[in-house]
Amino acid sequence: MNIGIIGSGAWGTAISTIASDNGHDVLMWAREQDVVDEINTHRTNQRFLQGASIAPNVRATTDIAALCSCQMLVNATPTQYVRHVLPALDGCDALIVNLAKGIEIGSHYRVSEIVHEVAPSFKSYAVLSGPSHAEEVIQRMPTTVVCASEDPECSAVVQRVLSTPTFRVYASTDVIGVEIGGALKNVIAIAAGIVDGLGLGDNTKAALITRGLAEIARLAAALGADAQTLYGLAGLGDLFVTCASRHSRNRAVGERIGKGETLAQITATMSAVAEGVTTTRAALELAASVGVELPITEQVAQILFGGVDPQHAIHALMTRQPRMEH
């Protein structure tokens, strides 16, 4: 199969190696000419994924229209850019697989909803999510993800195309659950990083992950998802790895905040996007529209955008009105 990768960041580069391992021809789009030249000439992508060795059947281009010749398109651009990038590919007769994890500011759309609005010509949509840091995927460390599509045949195609002995793909029909799990785990990961930066212990982090998962599942269910999805790879699995891993950009943002840096100082030094920052506000607004309370997300927003001291935010969570766990 001919596979097009929209975006040349870490995850786009990692998924290109999975596809190339299975013998598919891959065309990767990047905005940056130097990244394209490095991929095509040196078979590396040092800017976004150091240590990657890119196979000869992966090529790169700055011409996004060239991806229209592909049968499968993989979106690896951050959520806030999808609306601006995908219209260039509307009219392509391809299956689109989304890797981005976030909620759009303003519209409060999940990526599937953005795609439906700006590129309705795509014949099928799937979202691929789960505990899958690019830095480990590129080293062929065993990784398991889930592909969700309303069309089971679409998920089956993705499974056939991307499954390898080190990259196992499960299937689901719960697009909403998988997308909400992938988006909100980044917000909880920022909170987990704050816990790390403050030097708090395992009790605190375990409580945060557990109650964060309950928060995510509550919103997903209100939007029509199966809450059981959030106790699988796209929920619990991705939440755990993002809250615990040294590879997590969102956790790293939180850790630096916990150590006293401001959000402006942190973002000024980052070359990659931490989607949890923009998702925090969008998630709160989306939750308010369906009458769901997100107490951890609310306190993360207060810390990021309201100047609230992290210790005060933790105190606010710990002194909320007592209630039943479930």
Instruction: Give CA–CA dist 142/260, Å, rounded.
Output: 36
Catalytic option among 123, 185, 205, 259: 185
Are residue 193 and residue 167 in the same domain, yes or no?
no
User: What's residue 18's pLDDT?
Assistant: 96
**Please, is 240 exposed, middle or buried when counting C-beta atoms within 10 Å of its C-beta (0-12, 13-18, 19+)?**
middle
Mean pLDDT over all residues of the chain? 96
Instruction: Give CA–CA dist 205/210, Å, rounded.
Output: 9
Check which CATH number belongs to the domain holding 265 and give it: 1.10.1040.10
Are residue 212 and residue 127 in the same domain, yes or no?
no
Above 90 in pLDDT, residue 274? no
Instruction: Give CA–CA dist 177/175, Å, rounded.
Output: 6
User: What's residue 186's pLDDT?
Assistant: 96
Above 80 in pLDDT, residue 90? yes
Are residue 116 and residue 20 in the same domain, yes or no?
yes
In a domain, 165, yes or no: yes
Are residue 168 and residue 180 in the same domain, yes or no?
no
Above 80 in pLDDT, residue 26? yes
* Domain end position, chosen among 173, 190, 216: 173
Are residue 49 and residue 28 in the same domain, yes or no?
yes
| pTM for this prediction | 0.95
In a domain, 326, yes or no: no
The residue range of the domain holding 69 is: 2-173
Query: What is 253-322 written as a DSSP string?
Result: HHHHHHTT--HHHHHTT-SS--HHHHHHHHHHHHHHHTT---HHHHHHHHHHHH---HHHHHHHHHTSPP
Are residue 168 and residue 182 in the same domain, yes or no?
no
Q: Are strands 25-29 and 124-129 parallel, antiparallel or unpaired?
A: unpaired
At 121-180, the pLDDT tens digits run 998 999 999 999 999 999 999 999 999 999 999 999 999 999 999 999 999 999 999 999
Q: Is 185 a catalytic residue?
A: yes
Are residue 33 and residue 59 in the same domain, yes or no?
yes
CB 310, CB 302: distance < 8 Å: no
User: What's residue 220's pLDDT?
Assistant: 98
In a domain, 324, yes or no: no
* Domain end position, chosen among 109, 144, 173: 173
Per-residue pLDDT averaged across 196-202, rounded? 96
Are residue 209 and residue 105 in the same domain, yes or no?
no
State how many domains the chain has.
2
User: What's residue 57's pLDDT?
Assistant: 97
User: What's residue 268's pLDDT?
Assistant: 87
In a domain, 80, yes or no: yes
User: What's residue 228's pLDDT?
Assistant: 95
User: What's residue 123's pLDDT?
Assistant: 80
In a domain, 323, yes or no: no
* pLDDT category of residue 296 using cuts at 50, 70 and 90: very high
In a domain, 13, yes or no: yes
Q: What angle do CA 321, 240, 161 make, to 5 degrees?
A: 135
* pLDDT category of residue 93 using cuts at 50, 70 and 90: confident
In a domain, 32, yes or no: yes
What is the percentage of the chain residues whose pLDDT exceeds 70?
A: 100
Sheet containing 72-75: order of strands: 58-61, 25-29, 2-6, 72-75, 95-98, 124-129, 143-148, 167-172
User: What's residue 238's pLDDT?
Assistant: 97
Per-residue pLDDT averaged across 189-217, rounded? 97
At 56-72, the pLDDT tens digits run 999 999 999 999 999 99
- Among 252, 247, 259, CA closest to 276: 252
Are residue 94 and residue 191 in the same domain, yes or no?
no
Per-residue pLDDT averaged across 82-110, rounded? 95
Are residue 94 and residue 70 in the same domain, yes or no?
yes
